Amino acid sequence: MKIIENIGYSTFQTIISFFLSFLIQITVARSLKPANMGHYSFFLWLITFSSTVILLGLPLTLTKYISQFYPQEKDKIIRLIRYFLKYTVISFIVGSLVIFVLVNNKLPIGISVVIIGLGMYIFNNILSSIISGLQNFKVLMLSSTLSQAIQLFLVFFILSKFPNINLMITIYLVTLIISIVINLFGEYRWKNLLMPETDVCEDKNLEKTEIKNIIEYYKFVSVILFLDFIIWQNSEVFFLKLYSPVEEIALYSIGFSLAYLPSKIIGSPFGRVLIPFMSSLYGRNEDVRLRETYFNFVKLFSLLLIPTYIFLIFYSDSIIEVLYGSKYIKASIVLRIISFSALIGGIASVGSSYVHAVERPDIIVKINFFVAFINILLNILLIPKFHSIGASFGNTISQVIGCFLGTGYLIYRFGLKFPFVSVLKYLIVSVIGCYFINFVKLYKILISIPYIILVFIFYMIFYLLIFISEWKVWMFYLIKMKDKK
């Protein structure tokens, strides 16, 4: 499959998935009371966190080595899957027992439902990783978009009329089953993949040196993913559950999800392309172009993210009230605080791509260990007193520290140039644009989703027209990226 086709499927999946997830969260929040919304948010976090701990780097490991072995060495794939499957089963059993001990009677649903949901989520994650290794991104796109579209339909037409947390969890599990079915029947090479031509028990199918390399890769990726989950992905929910009313989880989850929406929509599709593109430059020793690519993509991310987040910060009250209702208005404070770290993190993500390209992911590990300690310490100090606001500051401070350390190290150690002047210009113009909206009193019409979109489009047109010459700088690089295989 051509790389451009895969990028197209991946980009479409990212945009539609975030859009549908956003609509689902709004509908669920409006249907359920804040307390039930908090319980449901904790249920989702518990499944996501538990699966991350159980699987760790397994999904990325499967994707990498299946793509490496297929189709020339199919026999090694089944041995690889069997090798990790037994450890996954053991980890799942241990994880289920831990959940039973720690969480039993702390949710308004049976603990068996949580364990069943966790098992289904893990199974679907493994299926998706294998399909990614086979580079069938069309199936992954269909699985994600169709299951989420069905979930939105059920939430909008059923949950809104019969608001109940048990019903919402049932809807979630049903759509998870749909996703599993699409993954199973959408990929046509399962039989060819899982029925090797030779005896998979023979040691020659997977050499000891290969096993050692695979395990080393798995361990290294596991550390990075686990630390990323602690620092960058909503670990504060755990401490909010311990020290705060359940409504605070709902407020934090809403603000967190909305704050990271622009960064994920813009960053994820480009990120999937940027890492292999930079790696190809590094492999050809094109250091000058590699540095230029870093510089220009930092400018690109800054150009798109800064005005978006300034708009979110200025009008968070109106956005939260229109999307979620007045009962969640306190989430606007969370949105303002986390938007700052999401902006910094989105720009700094270009540096992460550079680090992976030059084969120095150990830099990320070292920084993340330090930042994880700060993050947990801040959570313990701030959340018991300030609840969701404290969680927001803990997340933001730790992320900003990590981003500044990482970017500073790249500038110092690798001599990369950072477009400080351009970033400052984008920031000043964005703030002026929002003050202009206030001056002409356009903010008064931010009373519905269409009006918010209309004002934002007007604001972005004003902004982009000022910097129209900036597009010429990085368009060349996008064209070059398109030509890479």
Give one DSSP letter per residue of 225-238, joined into a string: HHHHHHHHS-THHH
- Lowest mean pLDDT, pick from 94-98, 348-352, 439-443: 439-443
Q: For residue 399, give the nearest of 254, 235, 274 by alpha carbon.
A: 235
Contact 460, 304 (CB under 8 A): no
Q: Quick one: DSSP state of residue 485?
A: -
pLDDT at 428 over 90: yes
Mean pLDDT of 476-480: 55
> 310-347, pLDDT tens digit by residue?
999 998 888 888 888 788 888 899 999 999 989 998 89
Q: Quick one: DSSP state of residue 442?
A: G
pLDDT at 202 over 50: no
Mean pLDDT of 87-110: 77
Q: Which residue type sits at 368? A: N
Contact 115, 100 (CB under 8 A): yes
Q: Which residue type sits at 243? A: Y
Contact 9, 138 (CB under 8 A): yes
Q: Quick one: DSSP state of residue 157?
A: I
- Lowest mean pLDDT, pick from 152-156, 196-200, 351-355: 196-200
**Residue 47 corresponds to which tokens in the numbers above?**
């499944």
Prediction pTM value: 0.68
- Lowest mean pLDDT, pick from 51-55, 59-63, 332-336, 435-439: 59-63
Give one DSSP letter per residue of 312-368, joined into a string: HHHTHHHHHHHHH-GGGTTHHHHHHHHHHHHHHHHHHHHHHHHHHHTT-THHHHHHH
Q: What is the dihedral of CA 207, 212, 218, 219, to 10 degrees?
A: 170
Mean pLDDT of 441-459: 76
Mean pLDDT of 475-480: 56
What is the band of 485 on the pLDDT scale with cuts at 50, 70, 90? very low
pLDDT at 165 over 60: yes
162 exposure class (CB count in 10 Å sphere: 0-12, 13-18, 19+): exposed
Mean pLDDT of 445-458: 77
Measured CA to CA in angstroms, residue 137 lies from 2, 17, 62, 478 at distances of 11, 14, 15, 21
Give one DSSP letter per residue of 386-429, joined into a string: HHHHHHHHHHHHHHHHHHHHHHHHHHHHS-----HHHHHHHHHH
Q: For residue 313, give the nearest of 179, 427, 445 by alpha carbon.
A: 427
> 249-278, pLDDT tens digit by residue?
888 888 888 888 888 777 776 665 666 567
Question: What span, in angstroms and rounded, lies between the C-alpha atoms of 203 and 280?
Answer: 34
Mean pLDDT of 358-378: 81
Question: What span, in angstroms and rounded, lies between the C-alpha atoms of 114 and 48?
Answer: 11
